[in-house]
Structure 1
């Protein structure tokens, strides 16, 4: 069994688990106007921003010149997770520790600054760190270097589904014999080129009101708000964690990934199959699930498809559903990992966070969507869903460990 023993969060509505969870329950949003460059000519100007976090207070100065925004956030989250787990990495064997992270964008801000230097000033002005700072695998590499982790490691690219895939791969790595794996997802692509990429996808809401721009499953939903950040977890072999007296937040009881069939095939999307496979992997039936943390795309067509998958699996209003990401925006590889943190906190406190901004769910969706206020309820099993652009689907079943501490 693999248990999560440490959590690190860098989210638009809170840095650190406690701050993020308090904001999630209170409905405090991290969505605001994107002010890092001039967006006056853009059709959408809202984003989930990790503000009030100075990387210079958390990282050595030599790393600041080497890293993109996303890597800095990942390093901060990873260190927080390792400290939360109470792991002394210097006392462990380096090949007994691995790193698996997901990233959808690479080092967008860093590499586009270097491109500008190349075109305007010449190649001699381009940073030597561009050779790796742009790459999707850089978060895995920098975390492993900083903490001396030489065990099996990997970087995954599956857009919004990537964070759950990273946890699933970490679980496989632990099962194969690596005692500890740092895993999760963090993304940031909020520079001018990154923003143009977000907008070109056609799924970003143009609603100028931060309170209503991203309201998944609402009959007036018009798209999502992009965001940055995510979460990093420490995943350990359960016996190894018990031996060192570690706290267990919960276990990854089940995981599955699927891919959508080609458009026009007449076959259904793969999200529902991923959910069923994850439950089967956990040895559980749908009746065991106490809450679903939905992918919550925020577009009517995609929301309707997810609602249908949930309705077919659980029945009409058969399980509480929530999407706390309405307060942060969609964080791409960071979104699923952050939902896992929220699921773990739901189990710890026996409360389901609400879906902010959503007030009117179409009856034919058949969803028991938690809105307006947190809902007190026993939470023993959570299903976390994520869909990435171009057909990626992932599902993770989270259960509490027997030795979890209470607040």
Structure 2
């Protein structure tokens, strides 16, 4: 235990396989996937047919209608997850000065569904039909701004845009502002990229799976891996200094943010190695842990053969072949972009709480990777530490060490 390390005190989740924290966690432990054929719009004519949709989510259950009409689903998911996280942590925002609370989120897609709808109005009906909130609802920082206003959090707020790595980078930024005197940070990430325009934007990276079978489309570390599928949702966490959380009587300290590091991959063709292994080593060093001290790795799991090979090499290079249990629970949700790493951090915190490693589903591990993948069923084991890995398109790498609080 590091008495100066901040701790996670509340967790909120909206995911394709569960619309709240405990429903999602139970589905994850049960191996219940939220992947399916796209229903949000007609995917005929698109090469990608499978995604992780947050079916059944009703934004009106989590925010006033006025806010719902002004915001994109990415922000509406954050409304719900933040409500959960604050309730889980038993936070009374009225007991804090507004400048003592901050919001730091990650975002990757922007409010593409809201933006597409308003642009369609522009083209079909003219500029007078476009709503005033087109100016802000699509913006990457919209979620941070709306949460700040809604909960009266006026401290050092911000948004991080490093694609899937952003969920960990946002937590690292939360840690920084807490070290400078902020008392509470709402942090994490949510994304909602499942609109026609959003899907077309994603296709440009060439990494999405075109398999139309939900149980075959996303197979990280499998010999049949052929890309990933997109998903929507994410997780929001409340993070506080340990002393502050204990003083106010927080019901639970899930985990401490023990170590973190971020690196960038070199430019393609440079001949230099990817930066993920270095991020792992730096995060362990900051946490003052040896590789043997890590009990589980929540892998990034791209599902792209070469990127899987690179990640496996980074993990085995640090921990040795089969040296640590590895899991990819996002096989049940798809890659949620800025929401994905935050969701993995939530899964790691709950794994530490319940002393269980959630499984990866549908995978038949490629023996060449030499990973101890937890597949099909959860693995009960003693857990004190977890390493969460994430990579963002463009060369971003992030590693976060969580330790039982």
- TM-score after normalising by structure 1: 0.97
* Superimposed CA distance per residue, residues 227-262 of structure 1 (whole angstroms, 9 cap, x where no aligned partner): 000000000011010101112111110011111111
Counterpart Cα distance in 1 of 2:114 and 2:212:
28
Equivalent residue for 1:335?
340
Does residue 396 of structure 1 match 2:400? yes
Shift in Å, 1:141? 0.3
Equivalent residue for 2:307?
302
- Of 286, 292, 296, which residue of structure 1 is paired with 2:297? 292
- Of 233, 246, 262, which residue of structure 2 is paired with 1:257? 262
Equivalent residue for 2:351?
346
Counterpart Cα distance in 2 of 1:368 and 1:139:
37
Counterpart Cα distance in 2 of 1:310 and 1:107:
34
Counterpart Cα distance in 2 of 1:371 and 1:58:
34
- Of 349, 363, 366, which residue of structure 1 is paired with 2:367? 363
Does residue 377 of structure 1 match 2:381? yes
Query: What SS is found at the alignment partner of 1:354?
Result: coil
Paired residues in the alignment total 400
Does residue 9 of structure 1 match 2:13? yes
Q: How does 1:4-403 map to 2 (within 5 A)?
A: 4-246=8-250, 247-359=252-364, 361-401=365-405
User: CA-atom RMSD, angstroms?
Assistant: 0.8
Counterpart Cα distance in 1 of 2:152 and 2:215:
43
Question: More displaced, 136-145 or 199-208?
Answer: 199-208
Equivalent residue for 1:405?
none
Counterpart Cα distance in 2 of 1:69 and 1:9:
14
Q: What 5-or-longer segments of structure 2 have no aligned partner?
A: none
Shift in Å, 1:209? 1.2
Query: What SS is found at the alignment partner of 2:401?
Result: strand
Shift in Å, 1:43? 1.6
Shift in Å, 1:347? 1.0
Question: More displaced, 196-205 or 131-140?
Answer: 196-205
Shift in Å, 1:68? 0.3
Shift in Å, 1:363? 2.2
Query: What SS is found at the alignment partner of 2:70?
Result: coil
Query: What SS is found at the alignment partner of 2:237?
Result: strand
* Superimposed CA distance per residue, residues 290-313 of structure 1 (whole angstroms, 9 cap, x where no aligned partner): 000000000110000000001110
Query: What SS is found at the alignment partner of 1:14?
Result: coil
Counterpart Cα distance in 2 of 1:79 and 1:17:
11
* Superimposed CA distance per residue, residues 334-393 of structure 1 (whole angstroms, 9 cap, x where no aligned partner): 11110011111111111111110101x222211111112111111110000000001001
Question: More displaced, 115-124 or 227-236?
Answer: 115-124
